[in-house]
């Protein structure tokens, strides 16, 4: 897929297919497990005007490579935040590409929609993520053993992999109306983009918080 616009909206509750697309198109940015300074990846419950100002600061800093990518995944976005984003979308900084992931296009103002491209990606639904389903099918003690196996595979610091796994678990929980596990997922996703994020501690918390043998 050719990405030749500066701003996109991807309508989906799962950002993983978009992350995979960006990884394949901009592999030079993703070689450091999403820690590259030209990447700005954030997950929000609500994207606010303060978050929009943070994005503006990222937009205005000089890229170390040819491109900079901002990926914002949010359950909702305030009107004030959208109005603040208008100038960024009208006058994009050279080389910056902005991707906004939302569950519903109707969350956006018409002025925003007119300035972006709606991105359609072949659905490789994370519901099919076998690792997520396997994790959910285990008892707590079995999950703890699995976490040690994952750690030995040296995937603990790979945020792309961890995000995909979290999204797979979240989607299964939502689809099966397991409400007491959803808050645990959202708590972890708030911090996954932080430099101090610990895969092992996050999934240890999840292993203990989620009901046993769900799938």
Do residue 21 and residue 91 come from a single domain? yes
pTM of this prediction exceeds 0.75? no
Domain boundary among 88, 118, 148: 118
3 state SS for 101-123: EECCHHHCCHHHHCCCEECCCCC
214 domain residue, yes or no: no
Weakest mean pLDDT among 30-34, 62-66, 90-94, 114-118 = 30-34
Do residue 14 and residue 34 come from a single domain? yes
93 domain residue, yes or no: yes
Domain boundary among 102, 118, 134: 118
Q: Are 89 and 109 in contact (CB under 8 A)?
A: no
215 domain residue, yes or no: no
Measured in degrees and rounded to the nearest 5, phi and psi for residue 75 equal -80, -25
pLDDT by residue (tens digit) across 158-168? 666 777 777 77
Characterize the bridge pairing of strands 7-11 and 117-118.
parallel
Do residue 43 and residue 140 come from a single domain? no
Do residue 104 and residue 146 come from a single domain? no
pLDDT by residue (tens digit) across 76-99? 999 999 999 988 887 778 888 999
Q: What pLDDT, on the 0 to 100 scale, is given for residue 125?
A: 44
> What is the number of structural domains in the chain?
2
3 state SS for 37-56: CCEEEEEEEEECHHHHHHHH
Q: Which domain holds residue 96?
A: 7-118
């Amino acid at each position: 897929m050719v990405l030749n616009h500066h701003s996109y909206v991807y309508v989906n509750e799962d950002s993983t297919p978009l992350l995979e697309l960006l990884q394949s198109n901009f592999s030079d940015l993703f070689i450091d497990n999403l820690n590259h300074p030209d990447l700005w990846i954030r997950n929000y419950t609500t994207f606010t005007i303060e978050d929009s100002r943070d994005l503006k600061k990222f937009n205005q800093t000089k890229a170390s490579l040819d491109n900079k990518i901002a990926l914002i995944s949010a359950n909702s976005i305030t009107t004030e935040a959208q109005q603040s984003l208008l100038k960024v979308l009208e006058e994009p900084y050279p080389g910056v590409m902005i991707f906004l992931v939302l569950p519903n296009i109707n969350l956006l103002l018409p002025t925003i929609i007119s300035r972006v491209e709606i991105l359609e990606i072949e659905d490789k639904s994370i519901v099919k993520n076998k690792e997520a389903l396997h994790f959910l099918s285990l008892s707590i003690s079995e999950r703890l053993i699995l976490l040690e196996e994952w750690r030995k595979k040296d995937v603990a610091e790979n945020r792309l992999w961890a995000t995909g796994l979290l999204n797979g678990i979240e989607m299964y929980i939502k689809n099966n109306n397991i409400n007491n596990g959803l808050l645990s997922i959202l708590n972890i996703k708030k911090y996954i983009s932080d430099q101090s994020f610990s895969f092992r501690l996050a999934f240890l918390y999840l292993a203990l918080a989620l009901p046993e043998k769900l799938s």
